Structure 1
């Protein structure tokens, strides 16, 4: 199976200048210069993307889950081992009504999405996404786990692409 993704991170704002601004032929200013709208990424691009996993997870009775990057589920629920690959993109959706999700490097074999010891919090009703451009560590036996903590038995959605 081949994988192709189009990472898009976008926030466009429009401001309208007050009237009477000298030399303003158009009072509307659109801010969109920081947007990422990458062309398609696949096994032959830089960064490469060869594996994708999009799953709905349920936290255990203590409100915890460990994502093992060497045992991901693919789109057809097939097992995917990302050993030797880097996380290129990640998106986490935390439904409204949930507790805040805390994403951190795993306790035993930490994969540092945001550096070692740096947690990411995703409040209820929020979506968090990152594009890494081939800068993270390769998944390995000792660098493979991401911990997610939140409310007991709550669900969240995680999409992760590696290459």
Structure 2
């Protein structure tokens, strides 16, 4: 196993924590952007349906790249933090912290699964109003799960 000096561990921990928090802000800021900002703005603008789809396609394309990078950074920094805190090795943390870490890890896997599969699955829904409702419900569910994951992260940091 890689041994780091206390100084190096401290700097790595700070860098991983900053990366983790930044990635959370980017991902969940993007998730909250649709129901809280974009959707109401599109309704208020009274744009033609075709123009809305062009705008939404451009937004989706950009968000996919930005959020994709944030998800990769989130996973890498999260695993780094878990390694530094001893959550990856058996018997190096309390049973409570180990179980909480496993629950957060599972929740993170679910969130990443939703990120990877939600849009392709929603594109299969042929009724536009149903697709829009499911799209909104997906965003709200991801926000709720993300809040739970953030709470678990706060508990793990103690």
TM-score (ref. length: structure 2): 0.21
Answer 1 or 2: which has greater helix percent.
2
Higher normalized strand content (fraction of residues): 1
